[in-house]
Structure 1
Amino acid sequence: MGIASGGLVLLSEMRETLPPSEQKIADYILENPEKTVGMTVSELGELSQTSGAAVTRLCKSLKLKGFQELKLRINGDLGRKVETIDRDIKPNEPVSITIQKVTEQAVQTLLETAELIDSQQLELAVKAIVKANNIHFFGVGASGISAIDAQQKFLRIHKASTVSTDLHMGATIVANTSKEDVVFGISFSGNTFEVEKILELANEKGATTISLTKYGQSPISQISDIQLYTSPTREANFRSGATSSRLAQLHVMDILFMSVASKQFDTTITYLDSTREAIEDIQNQTFRKKKK
């Protein structure tokens, strides 16, 4: 993983999936983050009424290298600005306040998402996409917007891609996939029935499956070969239309696209130049026709 923070998010989101002893340690850390960063493994085990071995197991459950990395991440969280603003929208509030609330929520979501990206899983996703014959993106609702955006990006660099937001159409596409293809399912909750069914079918066909969900264990992440995550930050009550989750998904897709582009830099530039020239030519022709 990249940025040295996000430890408290990891703990809070993973807590329910942990064994009882590791839950006790997580609870202690969440209640005493400042004290934890100055402790040793054995001290934390003693104060949480568990053991040093349980602390080590907790770090493994969080997919961290060890207790030192967990402390660094918690320390990074503590160094952040404390949130003082209610992020939900109020009736007739000044637009200046709305700007502040939406922007702060967006910044928090992007930072948390960056913290939760596992660089090893990202590398696996990049390799799979680079060598794939076809990439099939699937999502419904707001996640469908992210799927459409992803397909548009990869088409621009000559990666054969499809997108579907309908279960029947998605199943039709995936039914003809092979082990040389990638099927990419997007669902913030990780529980979307349609996305789960598409990935199950893709697994049966031997395709490489990639999921993009909020951080934590979910039915969709568990059946995927490669798991990518976004921030689990909850939407403000008024903005239940997936504002933050959609932004986080687009952010991960941008990172994935740029990573793929970096791996095949010269050909990517060539394809981007070609698509840009084609669009500019069409726009110029349209402009000339309108002038006549």
Structure 2
Amino acid sequence: MEKQVLKNIKRQMDDMFLAERKVADFILANPNETVGLNVSDLAEKSGASDATVIRFCKRLGYKGFYQMKLALAEELGRHQMTGYTDPMDNPKNAGEVIKCLTRDLLRIADLMDNEKANRCAEMICSAKKVYIMAVGNTIPVAMDFSFRLCRIGINARCEPIVEYAVAALANAEKDDLLIAVSHSGSSKYVIQAVEIAAQKNVPAIAVTSSSSNPLAREALFSLLTTVDDPLFGEYGSATHIYDQAVLDAVLYLVSQKLKQSGDIGNIEAVLAEYKI
């Protein structure tokens, strides 16, 4: 496999289909912007389809878009785990790091669709069972949300093993609910879970970074965790504080609705037996 992505694209241009050349032209003209896009964003900006972008990446010898983007980021020297695009903006101490993260969270708050968040909470309260799906390093976030829902009386389930999660979802019923968490919105297993849910007439809500990515398009609606230039990149040390904040907001809304209806369970009383 050619390690230099841009050189590889130029070398294969003559053999590409017209739609693939549109993708190639955009990447060659905007390599730095490409590193920050998801597959759907690149498709839209280049005037192609998601399938064309993926086919283009495979032509270059990569398994998919993410692998191509990773190689391109490394080639451009943007394969850093932390730091802003402009190093001059980087925080100088721990306090400034927290301030930067706070600024990002305030942006997410400004963009939050409160009607959708409230609808999500209502659907959780009325669901017979809530399935929460995530893969990779997002699993701890999903499991934490599932556990905390259980603690306030919601029948929630999150399986850390993909095969178990898919098998469990295959037994879902129409009164259940799926919450799919994926920052990139391009995880095959999470998208597959939403597709399985659709076959079972189970509504799916996405928690993701873009309204145009594959996951968002498959879901009933999305709660967005959009940050333009995150302090922690998506390679290696990606933060999940944005996902956590959105899920915490939903959890708060759920707990308030349960208080109003008098449905808060006695889970704490049960767990108290295991504390000194």
CA distance 1:85–1:164, change in 2 (3 Å): farther
Match of 2:90 among 65, 87, 90: 87
2:27 aligned residue: none
Would you say the 8 A contact 2:41–2:213 is kept in 1?
Answer: no
1:250 and 2:250 correspond: no
Q: For 2:270, give the aligned amino acid.
A: A
Match of 2:175 among 180, 189, 211: 180
SS in 1 for 2:275: helix
Query: 1:120, CA displacement in angstroms?
Result: 2.0
Q: Separation in 2 of the partners of 1:189 and 1:151?
A: 21
Q: For 1:279, give the aligned amino acid.
A: L
2:268 aligned residue: 276
Query: 1:111, CA displacement in angstroms?
Result: 0.8
Would you say the 8 A contact 2:153–2:264 is kept in 1?
Answer: no
1:127 aligned residue: 122
- Pairs within 5 Å for 1:170-249: 170-236=165-231, 240-244=235-239, 246-249=240-243
SS in 1 for 2:93: helix
Would you say the 8 A contact 2:205–2:220 is kept in 1?
Answer: yes
SS in 2 for 1:130: helix
1:116 and 2:108 correspond: no
CA distance 1:111–1:201, change in 2 (3 Å): same
Query: 1:215, CA displacement in angstroms?
Result: 2.9
Match of 2:156 among 157, 161, 184: 161
SS in 2 for 1:255: helix
Q: Separation in 2 of the partners of 1:254 and 1:196?
A: 23
Q: Separation in 2 of the partners of 1:115 and 1:15?
A: 22
Unaligned ranges ≥5, structure 2: 1-35, 48-85
Q: Separation in 1 of the partners of 2:93 and 2:226?
A: 22
Q: For 2:155, give the aligned amino acid.
A: A
Task: Say how many residue pairs are matched.
Answer: 200
Q: For 2:274, give the aligned amino acid.
A: I
Q: Separation in 1 of the partners of 2:248 and 2:235?
A: 23
Would you say the 8 A contact 1:261–1:268 is kept in 2?
Answer: no
Would you say the 8 A contact 1:85–1:101 is kept in 2?
Answer: no
Q: Separation in 2 of the partners of 1:159 and 1:251?
A: 19
Seq. identity, %? 18
Q: Separation in 2 of the partners of 1:218 and 1:167?
A: 21
Would you say the 8 A contact 2:169–2:193 is kept in 1?
Answer: yes
TM-score when scaled to structure 1?
A: 0.61
Unaligned ranges ≥5, structure 1: 1-11, 21-82, 89-96, 285-292
Q: For 1:278, give the aligned amino acid.
A: V
CA distance 1:162–1:142, change in 2 (3 Å): same
Question: How big is the alpha-carbon RMSD for the aligned residues of Structure 1 and Structure 2?
Answer: 2.9
Q: Separation in 1 of the partners of 2:234 and 2:182?
A: 18
TM-score when scaled to structure 2?
A: 0.64
SS in 2 for 1:125: helix
Q: Separation in 2 of the partners of 1:111 and 1:230?
A: 11
Would you say the 8 A contact 1:174–1:202 is kept in 2?
Answer: yes
Would you say the 8 A contact 1:185–1:210 is kept in 2?
Answer: yes
Q: Separation in 1 of the partners of 2:238 and 2:198?
A: 30
Match of 1:263 among 257, 266, 270: 257
Would you say the 8 A contact 2:206–2:222 is kept in 1?
Answer: yes
SS in 2 for 1:251: helix
CA distance 1:279–1:228, change in 2 (3 Å): same
SS in 2 for 1:164: coil
Would you say the 8 A contact 1:122–1:256 is kept in 2?
Answer: yes
